[in-house]
């Protein structure tokens, strides 16, 4: 098992900066997600940790030891590139034992290890089958088995479920997480899917344009987004943003949304100017006597809840409310915000103020 720390790590490809001065720590045994949109630098960050790419500057530590100049093969990690990459002419047992045999490990030891891995992955019954005829899920388990059998310090996975259809993807995500909980090995997992990151991760790093925007537990990131980018990237539908000219103080007070006062939590520092109020759709409620109003432009039925889109004086706003309430297009509705859960950002920098 391993603790992995990256400190002020940068990566440049010629004039292009793919990763800018990134720092975060992955604790021993964590299931850690590198999350962000395409091209934000997740894969490059993972490859640098794995030793497949050299940082332009900065340091990488594994269990306290600086490994920047160590090759991938010396870092004792398993990189699960593509779970379906198996040797087609070998059976399951030989596929799993291959990394050990090629290291020259004794037959007895190989046998014991493969049996143990098969038990962990619950694939004892297919050990002597050819991989050709296996189902997608079993192929995936065998590929994982090949990574686990070496007992590396950490597992690195780059969008391992990317090629799967939605239903199977969800099933394998649960299985991967359960496997991690049984083994407890540090796992670093790259994804652009915020839901996958929230469901699977102990911690998440959110990246954008090569910059670490935030790093923390899923709930921390959801409830206290550090930037507007994180706030809109995490959660579906996205957080609503209401721009206004105003002032906030450190004692917690109200902001003026065009004549309507909304109570906000205390800010870290007083600020005046262009501000953005962030409200998650599930924190908007309908209240007939509320002064702030919106006109319904669309209703999307989702079973127990519905997403209602409204036109307000601050633009479009989405509310997630119970389907028990009947809502029709063109209705004029009074809106209330759960003031304990609001976010507030500097409109220019996008940085959170509370
Ligand atoms: P994706 O999910 O699309 O793979 P990512 O967040 O993993 O995105 P990276 O693969 O880390 O992003 O790439 C970050 C940026 O660095 C991209 O703009 C990419 O084009 C660029 N890049 C990556 N590798 C190289 C390279 N070897 N040479 C030049 N540019 C590169």
Phi and psi of 302, rounded to 5°?
-125, 25
CATH class of 237-346: mainly beta
Cα–Cα nearest to 107, from 120, 94, 119: 94
pLDDT digits over 169-192, tens only?
A: 888 888 889 888 888 899 999 999
C-alpha to C-alpha distance for 123 and 135, rounded to whole angstroms: 12
Q: Which atom of ligand 1 is nearest to the CA of 47?
A: 11
Q: Which atom of ligand 1 is nearest to the CA of 16?
A: 30
Beta strands in 202-259 (DSSP E): 203-208, 211-216, 240-248, 254-257
Distance 56 CA to ligand 1 centre (A): 15
- Alpha-carbon gap, residue 253 to 51, rounded angstroms: 50
Nearest ligand 1 atom to the CA of 158 is: 7
Q: Is 21 left (phi over 0), alpha (psi -120 to 50) or beta?
A: left
> Could you give the residue range(s) of every CATH 3.40.50.300 domain in the chain?
4-229
In which residue ranges of the chain is CATH 2.40.50.140 found? 237-346
Tell me: pLDDT of 209 over 90.
Answer: yes
pTM to 2 decimal places: 0.88
- What confidence tens digit (pLDDT) does each residue in 259-282 have? 667 777 767 777 778 889 899 999
pLDDT digits (tens, 9 = 90+) for 277-319: 899 999 999 999 888 899 999 999 999 999 999 999 889 999 9
How high is the pLDDT of residue 274?
86
Per-residue pLDDT tens digits for 319-328? 999 999 999 9
Ligand 1 pocket test, candidate residues 9, 41, 157, 212, most atoms within 8 A of CB: 41
Helices (H) and strands (E) in the chain, counts: 8, 20
Fold of 4-229: Rossmann fold (3.40.50)
Which is more confident, 44 or 271? 44
What pLDDT shows up at residue 175? 82
- Which among 191, 147, 159, 243 is positioned nearest to 36, based on CA atoms? 191
Residue showing tokens 């045994």: 29
């Amino acid at each position: 098992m391993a603790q992995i720390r990256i400190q002020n790590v940068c990566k440049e490809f010629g004039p292009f900066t793919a990763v800018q001065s990134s720092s975060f720590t992955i604790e021993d045994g964590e299931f850690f997600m590198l999350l962000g949109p395409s091209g934000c630098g997740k894969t490059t960050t993972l490859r640098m940790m794995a030793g497949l790419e050299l940082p332009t500057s900065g340091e990488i530590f594994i269990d306290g030891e600086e490994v920047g100049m160590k090759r991938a093969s010396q870092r004792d990690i398993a990189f699960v590139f593509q779970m379906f990459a198996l040797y087609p002419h070998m059976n399951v047992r030989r596929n799993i034992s291959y990394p050990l045999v090629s290291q020259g490990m004794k037959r007895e030891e190989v046998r014991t290890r493969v049996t143990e891995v098969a038990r962990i992955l619950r694939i004892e019954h297919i050990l002597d089958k050819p991989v050709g005829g296996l189902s997608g899920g079993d192929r995936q388990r065998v590929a994982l088995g090949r990574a686990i059998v070496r007992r590396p310090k950490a597992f690195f996975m780059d969008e391992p479920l990317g090629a799967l259809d939605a239903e199977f993807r969800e099933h394998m995500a649960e299985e991967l997480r359960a496997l991690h909980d049984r083994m407890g090995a540090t796992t670093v997992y790259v994804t652009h899917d915020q839901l996958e990151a929230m469901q699977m991760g102990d911690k998440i790093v959110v990246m954008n344009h090569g910059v670490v925007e935030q790093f923390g537990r899923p709930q921390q990131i959801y409830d206290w987004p550090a930037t507007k980018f994180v706030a809109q990237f995490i959660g579906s539908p996205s957080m609503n943003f209401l721009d206004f000219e105003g002032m906030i103080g450190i004692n917690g007070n109200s902001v003026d949304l065009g004549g309507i006062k909304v109570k906000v939590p205390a800010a870290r520092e007083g600020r005046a100017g262009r501000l953005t109020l962030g409200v998650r759709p599930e924190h908007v409620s309908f209240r007939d006597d509320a002064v702030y109003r919106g006109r319904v432009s669309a209703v999307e039925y989702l079973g127990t809840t519905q997403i209602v889109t409204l036109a307000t004086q601050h633009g479009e706003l989405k509310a997630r409310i119970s389907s028990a309430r009947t809502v029709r297009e063109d209705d004029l509705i009074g809106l209330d915000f759960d003031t304990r859960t609001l976010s507030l950002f500097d409109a220019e920098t996008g940085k959170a103020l509370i």
